[in-house]
Structure 1
């Protein structure tokens, strides 16, 4: 991937994060990136995610916590509008 496309994709992720939470920082962007990747793979290749979940049960728990945190933070942001 060339640098221009990397920068443009980072800008897209930054804007998406901002629209979800009303703010952005590198930690929030990484959480959103992980959530997007996990969600996409879960929808497009469920057996792969099932295998990953069974191989790394602690990571599955952490991912569920992170996704719940993203949902909660987004709901808080939307309720302030």
Structure 2
């Protein structure tokens, strides 16, 4: 991937994080990256995610926590927008 595309993708992800959870600080951007990638893989290759969840229960729990936190931040952000 060339540097220009990399910078553009980073900007896109930062904006997505800002719109999704209300902030684009580095911690939340990393959470959103993880969430987006996991969601994509879960939708495109469910057996792979099922296997990963079975093989890595601690990682599955960590992922569940990230999803839960993003959902809470998203709800809070949407309520603040009203």
TM-score class normalised by the smaller sequence: over 0.9
Runs of 4+ in structure 1 off by over 4 angstroms are none
Residue 72 of structure 1 is matched in structure 2 by: 72
Are residues 1:3 and 2:3 paired? yes
Counterparts of 2:4 and 2:71 in 1: how far apart (Å)?
31
TM-score for both structures, normalised by structure 1: 0.97
TM-score for both structures, normalised by structure 2: 0.96
> Any residues of structure 2 matched to 1:43-58 within 5 Å, and which?
43-58=43-58
> Greater RCO between the two (CA within 8 Å, min separation 6)?
2
Gaps of 5+ in 2: none
Q: Secondary structure at the match of 1:23?
A: coil
Tell me how far 1:56 sits from its aligned partner.
0.4
> Over aligned residues, Cα RMSD in angstroms?
0.6
How many corresponding residue pairs?
Answer: 81
